[in-house]
Structure 1
Amino acid sequence: MSQLDTKQRILQTAAELFAAKGFDTLTMRDIAAACHIKAPSLYNHFKDKQALYQATLQYVFGQQGGELEACLQAAVPAQQKLDNFIALACRQMAGDVIFRQLFIRELLVPDEAHLQFLAQVVMADTCRALHDVFVEINPKCDPHFLTTSLMALLFFHFQANPLRPMLPGGSEQAQSTEYLTANIQAMMQNQLQK
């Protein structure tokens, strides 16, 4: 197995473990054991747990971020960029539990250094591009509020999906990715018309 294959396997395994257990509860030995390698071998790829964690966040978010940014850079009208972005983000949320869990874990167990890295390194380009699209649609909008509101809608609705059918008015249709996409798009359009 090549160095690149081993590193990718480590990142994938670390993502699953960090999403399930969090940063503080895991040791490098735990991660090495889950990767079926010895701890010293893990240190050949990452100098410490913090470096591995940051690389894991970049790996997981990078898998999603490139496609999302492409939606926001496409040569189409701004509203279509936003609608395409929301549709893709909804598909990603529905299909990638690890991505959702890592992000939500970061918010629930806030560590300022982790949050700064997430905001300034991992998410910055996508958020800036989204900000620009919001301003292109409505120059008078609050793009920061809209960006954080869209993140909240995406993460909350998909993370809460198992609970939704049990709540009053819940239905299978209201759990579908298509239903959530259409309603999140409508909410954003409504907010941008103000």
Structure 2
Amino acid sequence: MTTNNTQQRILETAAALFANKGYDALTMRDIATACNIKAPSLYNHFKDKQQLYLATLRFVFTREGDALMACLQSDLPAQQKLDDFIALACRQMAGSFIFRQLFIRELLGQDEDRLKFLANEVMLDNCLALQKVFVDINPDCDPHFLTTSLMSLLFFHFQSNALRLHLPGGSEETQSIDYLTKNIQQMINHHLNC
């Protein structure tokens, strides 16, 4: 197995472990065991747990972010880019527990260095491209507020889906990706057009 294949296997395994157990609950030995390699071999790829964790965050967020960036950089009109972006983001949220869980863990953990890493090194290009789309649609909007609002809507609705079913008005229909996509698009577009 090549170094790149081994490294990818390590990152995929580490992503699942970090999402399920969190950063503090794992050791490098735990991760090596789950990867079916010896701990010294793991250290050949990553010098310590912090470096492995940051590489894991970059790996997971980049994997999800590349497709989103393609939406934002397409030749379509800005409104269509935004609608396509929201639809894809909803499908990704529904389909990637690991991505959602890692993000939520970082928000709850409030580790300033890791949050800065996510904001400045992992999410920056996507956020700037999304903000440009917002401004293209409405030059007078607050693109930062819209970006963080959209992130909050996406993460909250998909992370709390199990609870939302039992709240007043909850139903199987309100749990569907199509329902959530349509309503998140409407909320963001309503704010953009006010």
TM-score, scaled relative to structure 2: 0.99
Q: Which residue of 2 aligns with 1:93?
A: 93
Equivalent position SS for 1:191: helix
Q: Which residue of 2 aligns with 1:171?
A: 171
Deviations 1:43-100 (A, max 9, x none): 0001111110111011101111111011001101101000000000000000000000
- AA partner of residue 191 (structure 2): Q
Q: How far, CA to CA, are the matches of 1:25 and 1:158 in structure 2?
A: 25
- AA partner of residue 36 (structure 1): N
Q: Which residue of 2 aligns with 1:115?
A: 115
**Can you give the 5+ residue segments of structure 1 that lack an aligned partner in the other structure?**
none
Deviations 1:135-172 (A, max 9, x none): 11001100000000000000000001111111111000
Q: How far, CA to CA, are the matches of 1:193 and 1:2 in structure 2?
A: 52
Q: How far, CA to CA, are the matches of 2:125 and 2:39 in structure 1?
A: 34
Total equivalences in the alignment: 194
Q: How far, CA to CA, are the matches of 2:179 and 2:65 in structure 1?
A: 23
TM-score, scaled relative to structure 1: 0.99
Residues 1-194 of structure 1 aligned to structure 2 (within 5 Å): 1-194=1-194
Deviations 1:81-124 (A, max 9, x none): 00000000000000000000000000011101100000000100
Q: How far, CA to CA, are the matches of 1:46 and 1:161 in structure 2?
A: 36
**Can you give the 5+ residue segments of structure 2 that lack an aligned partner in the other structure?**
none
- AA partner of residue 82 (structure 2): L
Equivalent position SS for 1:150: helix
- 1:26 Cα shift? 1.1
Q: How far, CA to CA, are the matches of 1:32 and 1:67 in structure 2?
A: 30
Runs of 4+ more than 4 Å apart = none
The percent identity for this pair of structures is 70
- 1:5 Cα shift? 1.3
